[in-house]
Amino acid sequence: MASRNQNKPPHSHSNKKIGAEEMERQGVVGRARAPLSAVVNNAEGTDSNTIEFTKEDIEALLIEKMKKGIPYDNKKKMDQMVDLIKRLKLCVRWCVDQNDKLHSEVESAAKKCCDTEMEMKNKTDELNDTISDMRKTISSLEEINVKEKLEKSEACRRLEVEKSIIVESLNATKELNKELQDRLKSLKETCSSQKETITTLEQTLRSEREKSEMADLSALQTRTMFEEQKRIIRELRDQLTDKEFQVVEGEKLRKKLHNTVLELKGNIRVFCRVRPLLREDRSETDMAVSYPTSMEMLGRGIELVQNGQKQLFTFDKVFNHGASQQEVFTEISQLVQSALDGYKVCIFAYGQTGSGKTYTMMGRPDAPDLKGMIPLSLEQIFQTSQSLKDQGWNFKMQASVLEIYNETIKDLLLSNRSSGFDQTRAENSVHGKQYTIRHDKNGNTHVLDLTIVDVCSVDEISSLLQKAAQIRSMGRTQMNEQSSRSHFVVTLRICGINENTEQQVQGVLNLIDLAGSERLSRSGATGDRLKETQAINQSLSSLSNVIFALAKKEEHVPFRDSKLTHLLQPCLEGDSKTLMFVNISPDQSSIDESLCSLRFAARVNAVKLGFQGVRPRHIHGA
């Protein structure tokens, strides 16, 4: 009977060692699952026709046969059962043998497996030890390798650097060698050319030495002549310096003597000033004025050409169109100083509209270098009064500013003046507050109810002057964009006392910018401007009548014909020091007005004031 073990587990390298108990349990299961042999169709059964069955297969077969209910007789059934039992016993015996055989094989295999595992464990431990040693060896070798690589890398880097340095040095050496070769070649060429040049120069040197010897002789002669010329020039310069000093001193003496003569004569001094041509005027070739160049007339004469005829006028001083404000003020500074000496001083500007009167007297407030005579005079008064404090002098000063507009006096320092006063006055010809002019027995002028302000510094008087100038009556005419429509009068009363000598002085400085005269035919004035022009011309005509009367020494002088002449009465008679600026325009279109102004100025210059030579001066400082 052939047999086959169907339940033996396959051998695997992953199977671990199985214990005796586990193997024994598997043996029991094996015996339960052992195959059985049965005879099919015949009772004898042979080994060649046996079929292997399991226990479950046999039981299932029996149950199936019983269900079929095949009728068997009992004997036959018993025989079959006996035969079946025999067969079953044989099967059981075979299963037990087979199980024992398998059990012994399993035990042998388990023992063999255990031995194998032990051997493998030992080999594994040996291999692990070997691997550990190898790893340590590899680690040390790697460290050595890394170190060697670093050393090699550093060595290579150093070699590269050394190589680079050597290459650069070699290149530099090559370039230097090339440069030296080129330089050597150039030097050889230069040396060759220099030899030729040296030969030429030696020849030239010999020639030049001969010339130099001759030049030395000539230079010696020239130097002698030069020294002689220098001596002559020094002598001439010394003589020129002496002459210039004599001229300056002579001019100073002339001015001093001239002022003394004028003081003794009592004449009103007159300065003429010509304004520059304006843009709207024609070129300078059309100027109607010229200046004599003779020594007697230099700086004092002026000529006007009308219809081909020259008109010559002579004044105390003539300023051409190029004179600066400071140059003009220098000429009047001593006169301004007289106010601190205790004199009554009056300076006023006269001329046609647009001739530069307001510029001369007021200048330009926005340009410090172009200040006029009024601000410059006031600054000098305050600066000089401060310097006299060292000599014991103390001064008290009072200022007033007014204008005469349409024969009406207007107080320009009145703080509570109505803002609509100008418009009402112009439109309705209604005068505001009336101011009365009074002259005392000492020749001092007083305007009743006029605002008088105590001033202690230049800044205070400048502020008052600026305020007054802003509200002064101005207007536009065809002859002047900003024409002064009134007479502008600034008065500074000076009272000084010397604490050391107890001397007292009282002086008055009147600074006046007269309104400009106009011809109605040229001004084109109408309405209010016409009334203003008529009032201005009438006022200036009254001034002309007063001057005529004074020049003719008439018994009656019409000072009261106008507010202007009434106010100027002390300045035109008595012991006042008076100076008039006559301003003229240089253009041909104004030749008639300029002639009228110069003729009037000549008459003013001929007026003699009271004798002043006996009056002592109390202050000699500054």
| Segment 50-86, tens digit of pLDDT | 455 566 777 777 777 666 655 556 788 888 888 888 8
Domain assignment of residue 510, yes or no: yes
Q: Is 356 annotated as a binding-site member?
A: yes
DSSP letters for 461-503: HHHHHHHHHHTS-EE--SS-TTEE-SEEEEEEEEEEEETTT--
Whether pLDDT at 373 is above 80: yes
User: Would you say 357 is a known binding-site residue?
Assistant: yes
* Domain range enclosing 561: 266-606
Give the pLDDT confidence score for residue 617 in this predicted structure.
Answer: 42
- Quick check: 284 pLDDT over 60? no
Among the candidates 119, 140, 161, a domain finishes at 140
Range with the lowest mean pLDDT among 182-186, 215-219, 431-435, 493-497?
431-435
User: Is there a binding annotation on residue 351?
Assistant: yes
354 labelled as ligand-binding? yes
Helices (H) and strands (E) in the chain, counts: 12, 18
Distance between CA atoms of residues 235 and 237, nearest Å = 5
Domain-embedded: residue 471: yes
> Do the domain assignments include residue 11?
no
> Is the pLDDT reported for residue 396 higher than 90?
yes
232: in domain? no
Q: Residue 364 and residue 472: Cα distance in Å, rounded?
A: 15
Cβ proximity of 608 and 265 under 8 Å:
yes
pLDDT over 60 (residue 411)? yes
Q: Does 270 lie in the same domain as 135? A: no
The mean pLDDT of 490-511, rounded to a whole number, is 92
Whether residue 35 has pLDDT greater than 80: no
Q: Where are the beta strands (DSSP E) in 28-186?
A: 36-38, 51-53
Q: What is the pLDDT of residue 14?
A: 41
Can you tell me the mean pLDDT for 353-362? 91
pLDDT of residue 452: 93
Is residue 356 included in any domain, yes or no?
yes
Residue 614, pLDDT above cutoff 80: no
Percentage of the chain surpassing pLDDT 90?
32
Q: The domain spanning residue 360 has which CATH number?
A: 3.40.850.10
Per-residue model confidence (pLDDT) at position 72: 52
Global confidence as pTM: 0.57
User: Does pLDDT of 182 surpass 60?
Assistant: yes
Show the beta-strand stretches assigned E in 458-611. Answer: 474-475, 483-484, 487-498, 504-513, 577-584
Mean pLDDT of the chain: 80
Is 496 assigned a ligand-binding role in the annotation?
no
Whole-number pLDDT of residue 73: 65
pLDDT mean over 479-506: 83
Instruction: Please report whether residue 13 resides in a domain.
Output: no
Q: Which of 81, 113, 140 is the last residue of a domain?
A: 140
Q: Which of 165-179, 320-334, 402-416, 466-480 has the lowest mean pLDDT?
A: 466-480
64 within domain boundaries: yes
Q: What is the mean pLDDT of residues 403-429?
A: 65
Do 483 and 351 contact (CB within 8 A), yes or no?
Answer: no
Residue 258 has pLDDT above 80, yes or no: no
What confidence score (pLDDT) does residue 621 get? 42
Q: 12 labelled as ligand-binding?
A: no
Instruction: Spell out the residues 6+ positions from residue 449 whose beta carbon is closer than 8 angstroms to its own.
Output: 411, 433, 435, 436
Count of structural domains within the chain:
2
pLDDT of res. 264: 66
Give the best-scoring range by mean pLDDT among 46-50, 298-302, 519-523.
298-302
Lowest mean pLDDT among 397-401, 414-418, 446-450, 576-580: 414-418
Domain finish residue from 140, 163, 197: 140
Say if CB 39 and CB 58 are below 8 A apart: no
Q: Is residue 481 part of a domain?
A: yes
The residue written with tokens 């027995």 in the block is: 441
